[in-house]
Structure 1
């Protein structure tokens, strides 16, 4: 189900994948929803994830989460920022992205469940910057852009460490925007957790010759996120 939401930054769109209902088919998603003889679990939280500055909710990791998590009691809300809904090719300034996310929040919280704020790349930065203000239950940062490629001195670690809520980073082992080993020491300890996707790039694509296949890489993501959200309860 899709929902249009008016924000100060324009019209945004939420595509809902609700827990407690059969998983929808995603033809291009390598990870398949788990088969079970049991009824899908009732929703216990909402995972809201937005896209990055260079793509939309068709990203492989977002599709995989939407295909797998609803069967485990997690409603997944795939969020399209107003600039993307309007068909623009370039993302606006961070303050405009934040304004769009703030405007969406009441719709994300409407089910009356704890909301995990998430996103990939630029969307992860938005989630971190606004988590405390909006009362997010936690933050999921997919492919957090720790720094521009080749510019480690331009660190954005402050945004990640300042989220103020439990945070999970899922990062490709070969991400030019920040490899797992580049992430800062946690102050205070336990301020975030990190799951590495072996050989994955910024979009979690793995080379054809890698010992880990694409489907395995996506399973690392969905398994890691599922384990983490289960611990939040």
Structure 2
């Protein structure tokens, strides 16, 4: 049974900082899920089961199905913003496969090809217009941020949490997940570490592995 005051749904399209925010929530001891690739549109039992099991929700399908939980006053939303052209470049080059084979296609319904860039940018605009409308209606439940400038104090104030500290009582550094991954992805150390992670997590379970990683992150080991 979770002891958290709130459920947190991260709303922002993929490639807006969802991985970094997920790590920050885990550092605050939120149990976070997503992306949940097994979800099929309309599978409410799947959403409700995950909702009951976890405290935080990010990426697919939560950034698209967030409005299913608007009636629950316990749910808070964090809107992740990013400059539109920068988002498109990152989304097109990095997020999954092309054409209709990328994870979020059931929601976008746009083939990921360069010629369809205007359609994706229109989707982007409509998506954030909708979010901002609800944020204006429920200001106490929505926080709109950019992951580049977002800091612990703002997050903890919004969620009524204490600032995270390491074993020495020092404020934990803000993670930069994808920046580190992109920088190190081609190094031999990264590849070896990734293989070890897969082997260890298969033995102890993904959730236990995440707890170990979060402990190391909070204490500056990684």
Which bracket does the TM-score occupy, shorter chain normalised? 0.3 to 0.5
Query: Where is the helix percentage greater, Structure 1 or Structure 2?
Result: 2
TM-score by length of 1: 0.37
Q: Whose relative contact order is higher, 1 or 2, with alpha carbons under 8 Å and at least 6 apart?
A: 2
Per the normalisation by structure 2, the TM-score is: 0.38
Higher strand share: 1
Higher gyration radius (CA): 2
